[in-house]
Amino acid sequence: MKSGIMILEMQTSLPKSSTEHLFKVIVIGQFRVGKTSFIQRYVNGLFTENYKATVGVDFAMKTIKWTENDIVRLQFWDIQGQEDTTKMTRAFYKNAAACLIIFDMTSERSFEFCKELKEAVDSEVCDKYEMPIPCILLANKCDLKEWAVTRERVDQFCSECNFLCWKEISVKRNEQLEESVGCLIEVVMERSKDSLEPVSEPELDIHQPPAKSYCCKI
């Protein structure tokens, strides 16, 4: 297991009256669907096809000026995607505020694996209202022609498994990444708007065992 490197996009100056909101976002999916590529593209604007497989969990941070008075800090947890480690990696879901589940639109198996992952998330973590945390399904590699799954099938799956929504994305072309994360932030902020609790860092206990959009519904 490796601890990873936390990457922080710094804001040079923040209004004194601003409120900071810190959210842990878990990013999960089968091996090689593009989880690390998604995070690196969104956080750093970088893309490469040669990332090494994540072992355990890696971390990245992005700071966003959401409104004039709200600063959102997203702490992404990039969790390894080998299917035989799912029971161990559930430990990393603790304290998550939101979830992104990614699959490869050209791989039916990666799509089918999302059901197991969504069930694991729903059973392991909930929000302060004891409700499942917001989760968006992302269909990566939609720029490729060899789709293994139809939109109709993803629509049905998304509804049956209670995802907020699903979006077609291309990390390679940088398509729909900002919109996907923005959709997630909107829902998380709506759920947390009445909370008066101060911002605190989610636990980083890494020593535990291990282009169509479908609109979010708040």
The ranges assigned to domains in the chain are 19-193
> Residue 18: what pLDDT?
83
Name the residue among 19, 150, 171 with its Cα closest to residue 100. Answer: 171
> Residue 88: what pLDDT?
73
> Residue 36: what pLDDT?
93
Integer CA distances (angstroms), 158 to 53, 152, 166, 176, 189, in order: 27, 10, 7, 18, 22
Predicted confidence (pLDDT) at residue 32 exceeds the cutoff of 60: yes
Query: Which residue bears the tokens 């629509």?
Result: 155
Average pLDDT for the chain: 83
Predicted confidence (pLDDT) at residue 22 exceeds the cutoff of 90: yes
> Residue 202: what pLDDT?
45
More confidently predicted of 18 and 30: 30
Predicted confidence (pLDDT) at residue 12 exceeds the cutoff of 60: no
Q: Position 180: which residue type?
A: S
Q: How confident is the model at residue 9 (pLDDT cuts 50, 70, 90)?
A: very low
Compute the 3-state secondary structure of the chain and give helix, strand, coil in percent, each to the nearest 5. Answer: 30, 25, 45
pTM above the 0.85 mark? no
> Residue 84: what pLDDT?
61
> Residue 5: what pLDDT?
34
Question: What is d(CA 139, CA 187) in angstroms, rounded to the nearest whole number?
Answer: 20
Fold of 19-193: Rossmann fold (3.40.50)
> Residue 65: what pLDDT?
94
Query: Structure tokens of 186?
Result: 């909107």
pLDDT tens readout for residues 117-174: 999 999 999 887 788 999 999 999 999 999 999 999 999 999 999 999 999 999 999 9
Predicted confidence (pLDDT) at residue 192 exceeds the cutoff of 70: yes
Percent of the chain scoring above 70 in pLDDT: 75
Main-chain dihedrals φ then ψ at residue 101, nearest 5 degrees? -110, 125
DSSP lists the bridge partners of residue 61 as 8, 75
pLDDT tens readout for residues 44-89: 999 887 666 666 689 999 999 999 999 999 999 999 877 666 677 7
Which long-range contacts (C-beta less than 8 Å, at least 24 apart) are formed by 212-215? 212/151, 212/167, 212/168, 213/165, 213/167, 213/168, 213/176, 213/179, 213/180, 213/183, 214/155, 214/158, 214/165, 214/166, 214/167, 215/165, 215/183
> Residue 209: what pLDDT?
35
Work out the angle between the directed axes of helices 35-44 and 177-192 (0-180°, nearest 10): 80
